[in-house]
Structure 1
Amino acid sequence: MPLYQQAITVLLCTAATMLTRFLPFLVISARKPTPPLVRYLGNALPAAIFGLLVVYCLKDVAWGRPPHGMPELIAVAVTAGLHLWLRRMLVSMAAGTALYMLLVQRVFA
């Protein structure tokens, strides 16, 4: 791909990203109340996205072969438990990821 096509591609990607970031602020006025659909999506989408991520992370687990998904199940349980206890999403995700990496590299290796 020639340099001018690369530059055009980068500019178009930048413009599309900026448009999706700024469009809600241009469309929804700060003076008017937030539309009910936007409030609903703001409440429902985070849980739906994390549910989707859990399904995606567990889709390739070999449940029939040793260790039968034990590292994944332990890490998911610890992540959920930490989140219910501390209510700190970043802490629970980081701890669950670190525990999973420890389990697959050291314990169940």
Structure 2
Amino acid sequence: MPLSAGISFFIILLVALATFGTRVIPFLVFPRGKEIPPVVQYLGKVLTPAVIGMLVVYCLKETPVLSGSHGLPELIAVVVTAGLHVWKRNNLLSIGVGTVLYMVLVQTIF
């Protein structure tokens, strides 16, 4: 069922407001000069690596290690992604290169 232009505009408006709200709320809750609670500081340090770790486990959970390519394209892409991230410390670069490398390996070599 196609959506009308008005409904599409309303959906885009709601998504934009939700995105803007998620960006503004931290500045309202923790204004300049107010001490950030230790639990929020702790979560800021550990949440990103924990989420990345969960994504890696989720992506690799069904890797066929006993058949086909035996997980070699996945292993190569993960090693290159991790190595590039340790070297350059750039999430976008390491994830982008790892994804492109994996796609090239799967589509052309394996």
Same fold (TM over 0.5): yes
Superposition CA RMSD, Å? 2.0
Of 62, 80, 95 in structure 2, the residue corresponding to residue 60 of structure 1 is 62
Moved over 6 A (4+): none
Deviation at 1:51, TM superposition (A): 0.7
- TM-score norm. by structure 1 comes to 0.80
Deviation at 1:76, TM superposition (A): 0.3
Task: Give the letter for the 1:22 counterpart.
Answer: V
* Deviates further, 34-43 or 79-88: 79-88
Determine helix, strand or coil for the equivalent of 1:104: helix
Determine helix, strand or coil for the equivalent of 2:56: helix
Determine helix, strand or coil for the equivalent of 2:79: helix
Task: Give the letter for the 1:30 counterpart.
Answer: R
Alignment correspondent of 1:94: 96
- TM-score norm. by structure 2 comes to 0.80
Partner Cα distance (1:50, 1:7) in 2: 33
Determine helix, strand or coil for the equivalent of 1:29: coil
Superposed counterparts of 1:1-109, under 5 Å: 5-108=7-110
Runs of 5+ unmatched residues, structure 1: none
Partner Cα distance (1:39, 1:75) in 2: 32
Task: Give the letter for the 1:37 counterpart.
Answer: V
Runs of 5+ unmatched residues, structure 2: none
Deviation at 1:103, TM superposition (A): 1.0
Deviation at 1:72, TM superposition (A): 0.2
Deviation at 1:4, TM superposition (A): 5.2
